[in-house]
Structures are given as C-alpha cells and as structure tokens.
C-alpha cells in the first residue's frame, strides 16, 4: 500500500485520468473530491461488503 500525505487543496492523480483532491479535513474525517472518466465506477468500500445480520443491536449505526 502506498501511503501519501496531502493537505487541503492538494491532489493525487491515478493512471493519468483519475484525480483525487483533498477538499476538507474536519476532525477525524476527510472530504475527498474525485474526478474520473464516466467509464470508471466509483463506490464506497463498505457498499461492497456482504450484508450483515441487522438483528445485531450492538453494531454502531452506519454514518454518511
């Protein structure tokens, strides 16, 4: 895994066509902006995980 440090307003470019910009840092949360061609699918990682048993009341509620 490549680990990079970026400040607000800085970006990284993937494969010459995908641009990921740091828009804001709010506490422990980072707001990213992603520009990519329409044929590139962008999805949050947690949406790719298999569903869990919703009867587990000890699990924290998902946050957006």
SS (H, E, C) the chain: CCCCCCCCCCEEEECCCEEEEEEEEECCEEEEEEECCCCCCCCCHHHHCCCCCCCCCCCCCCCC
| Domain assignment of residue 37, yes or no | yes
| Domain assignment of residue 64, yes or no | no
Contacts of 16 (CB under 8 A, 6+ apart): none
Q: Domain range spanning residue 29?
A: 11-45
| Domain assignment of residue 58, yes or no | no
Rounded to an integer, the average pLDDT of 14-40 is 96
- The verdict on pTM exceeding 0.75 is no
- Return the residue matching tokens 């946050």: 63
Say yes or no to pLDDT of 57 above 60.
no
Residues in the chain: 64
> 30 forms bridges with which residues in the sheet?
25
How many domains does the chain divide into?
1
Rounded to an integer, the average pLDDT of 9-37 is 97
| Domain assignment of residue 3, yes or no | no
């Amino acid at each position: 895994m490549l680990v990079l440090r970026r400040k607000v307003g800085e970006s990284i470019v993937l494969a010459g066509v995908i641009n990921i910009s740091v828009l804001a840092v709010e506490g422990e949360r980072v707001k990213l902006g992603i520009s990519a061609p329409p044929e590139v699918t962008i999805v949050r990682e947690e949406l790719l995980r298999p569903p869990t048993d919703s009867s587990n009341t000890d699990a924290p509620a998902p946050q957006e």
